[in-house]
Amino acid sequence: MMKRTIEPFWWSLFGAGGTLAALFIPITLFINGLAIPLGWLAAPDYENVLQMARHPLARTYLFLLISLSFYHWAHRFRFTLYDGLQLKHLNLLIAVICYGGATVGTVAAAYTLINL
């Protein structure tokens, strides 16, 4: 049976992004934004961090975290514009801008991580 709608696809990215972002962004922010600047954790030197980020698992983690967070934003922002600002006549344009923006962010993240 053919499905009538592509919404499940966008919604799954939205859900995955929301879950990942809720779990891991606070941890990442805590380590990099509080613990290291306040001296609770010893600041690693640049080369060490770079080496760590180049590990395939770290690249995958960063890619998924960044990309899915973008799609989470895109889906929510799309409905904020659509329902919140009542721009439903611009539905297609809004979808292209939101998901397109998330796709641009995803490509940029992939490019940056590959060339790290």
Q: Which residues bind other proteins (CB under 8 A)?
A: 1-5, 7-9, 11-12, 15, 79, 83, 86, 88
Minimum CB–partner distance for residue 12 and other proteins (Å): 5
C-alpha distance from residue 5 to each of 85, 94, 98, 115 (Å): 23, 17, 18, 37
Check if the beta carbon of residue 62 is closer than 8 Å to that of residue 53. yes
Minimum CB–partner distance for residue 87 and other proteins (Å): 11
Nearer to other proteins, 91 or 112 (CB): 91
Nearer to other proteins, 71 or 109 (CB): 71
Nearer to other proteins, 15 or 101 (CB): 15
Nearer to other proteins, 31 or 87 (CB): 87
Minimum CB–partner distance for residue 89 and other proteins (Å): 13
C-alpha distance from residue 19 to each of 5, 28, 45, 72, 93 (Å): 23, 14, 31, 9, 27
Minimum CB–partner distance for residue 10 and other proteins (Å): 9
Each residue of 83-112: b (16+ CB within 10 Å) or e?
Answer: eeeeeeeeeeebbeebbeebeebbeebeee
